[in-house]
């Protein structure tokens, strides 16, 4: 996982420096924090848990606070006591006697952490110890999402729109018939289509790819090698602010007679169900370049849009040429 995080950070453009520290698996959260602090010398620390999504303006608000500060939310049961003195972490366990929870997003001084650190002390125990001695400042927020699983991550994007795509001929150039992309160095992005996806992403679109990849079923590549190709595509598109939520893939060959290989609708039906919370239409759009894509889309209850196929009269030249139609979501065949 550490290597994947580093690879991801190498691809995204941020105005801040990010260092990745790798620790033994048996380290506690506090052990990992203290290990990082041996290299990070800043006195004020903003500590956050990676599976929590906090509104982006909260960090800006926290910059006005001068001391240790909890970000809290009101609940029916909590473990943070709020008084005129400040916010105190009462217990690791929640109780109806306290009405606030700490959201894993807090300001604390480096000295407080290092001076109170002991082996086998947990991060929560450290916060209890420090805040009982000197209560923290606190900032209450209402909007917050836990990203502890994929469904929660989707919920945090509930205002986004979703678009379904084929891979070869849409995101990547289509290989010649019965040849395949076998490694991450062998594909080429379809730039005009990618430009269209970039425009759509600016307007809140996220993307799901539904693609036949029989090279796996034919024994030419493994599932892991296919995932490596898709990971590489994702990282390239992230640089362009285009985010792929999933590659739904039929790995069977045509001789397997499965229900997921297009033009059968199984792959699209499964994806539509998985991402239904992001659908703004009962008939989402699927973009492909072949008649088999149209057939699968229509069978699965999608609106098909075909691009990049000069043999079809109603096909658009590229996704970029179809942006307005896609956003209107009222595509009618010519």
CA separation for the pair 328, 334 (Å, rounded): 16
In the annotation, is 317 catalytic? no
Q: Which of 241, 208, 69 lies closest to 140, judged by CA?
A: 69
Burial (CB count within 10 angstroms: exposed 0-12, middle 13-18, buried 19+), residue 197:
buried
Catalytic residue among 3, 31, 168, 256: 168
Total length of the chain: 334
Handedness of CA 323, 325, 327, 329 (dihedral sign): negative
From CA 272, how far away is CA 164, in angstroms rounded?
A: 9
- Angle, helices 291-299 vs 266-274, to 10°: value is 50
Per DSSP, which regions of the chain are E strands?
44-48, 52-53, 69-74, 80-83, 86-89, 100-109, 137-140, 145-146, 161-165, 205-212, 244-250, 285-288, 303-306
Per DSSP, what are the bridge partners of residue 248?
A: 210
In contact, 139 and 106? CB cutoff 8 Å: no
Q: Which residues pair with 87 in a beta bridge?
A: 82, 136
168 in active site: yes
C-alpha to C-alpha distance for 197 and 187, rounded to whole angstroms? 18
Closest CA to 61 of 50, 46, 74, 73: 46
Residue 105: HSE in the Cβ half-sphere, 13 Å Cα cutoff: 25
The one catalytic residue among 15, 51, 166, 317: 166
Positions marked catalytic: 166, 168
């Amino acid at each position: 996982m550490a290597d994947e995080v580093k690879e991801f950070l190498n691809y995204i453009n941020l105005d801040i420096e990010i260092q990745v520290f790798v620790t033994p698996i048996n380290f506690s959260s506090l052990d990992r924090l203290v290990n990082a602090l041996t290299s990070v010398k800043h006195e004020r620390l903003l500590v956050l848990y990676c599976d929590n999504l906090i509104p982006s303006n909260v960090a800006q608000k926290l910059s006005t606070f001068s001391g240790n500060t909890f970000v809290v939310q009101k609940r029916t049961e909590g473990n943070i006591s709020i008084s005129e003195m400040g916010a105190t972490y009462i217990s690791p366990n929640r109780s109806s006697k306290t009405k606030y929870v700490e959201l894993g997003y807090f300001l604390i001084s480096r000295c407080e952490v290092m001076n109170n650190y002991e082996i086998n002390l947990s991060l929560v125990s450290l916060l209890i110890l420090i805040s009982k001695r000197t209560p923290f400042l606190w900032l209450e927020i209402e909007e917050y999402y836990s990203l502890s699983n994929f469904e929660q991550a989707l919920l945090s994007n509930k205002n986004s729109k979703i678009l379904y795509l084929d891979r070869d001929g849409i995101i990547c150039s289509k290989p010649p018939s019965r040849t395949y992309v076998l490694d991450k160095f062998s594909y080429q992005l379809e730039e005009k289509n990618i430009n269209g996806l970039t425009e759509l992403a600016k307007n809140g679109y996220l993307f799901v790819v539904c693609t036949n990849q029989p090279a796996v079923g034919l024994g030419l590549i493994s599932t892991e090698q296919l995932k490596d190709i898709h990971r590489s595509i994702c990282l390239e598109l992230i640089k362009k602010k285009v985010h792929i939520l999933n590659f739904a893939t039929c790995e069977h060959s045509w001789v397997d007679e499965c229900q997921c290989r297009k033009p059968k609708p199984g792959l699209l039906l499964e994806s539509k169900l998985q991402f239904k919370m992001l659908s703004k239409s009962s008939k989402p759009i699927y973009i492909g370049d072949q008649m088999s894509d149209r057939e699968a889309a229509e069978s699965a209850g999608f609106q098909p849009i075909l691009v990049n196929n000069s043999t079809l009269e109603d096909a658009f030249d590229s996704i970029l040429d179809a942006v307005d139609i896609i956003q209107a979501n009222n595509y009618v065949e010519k």
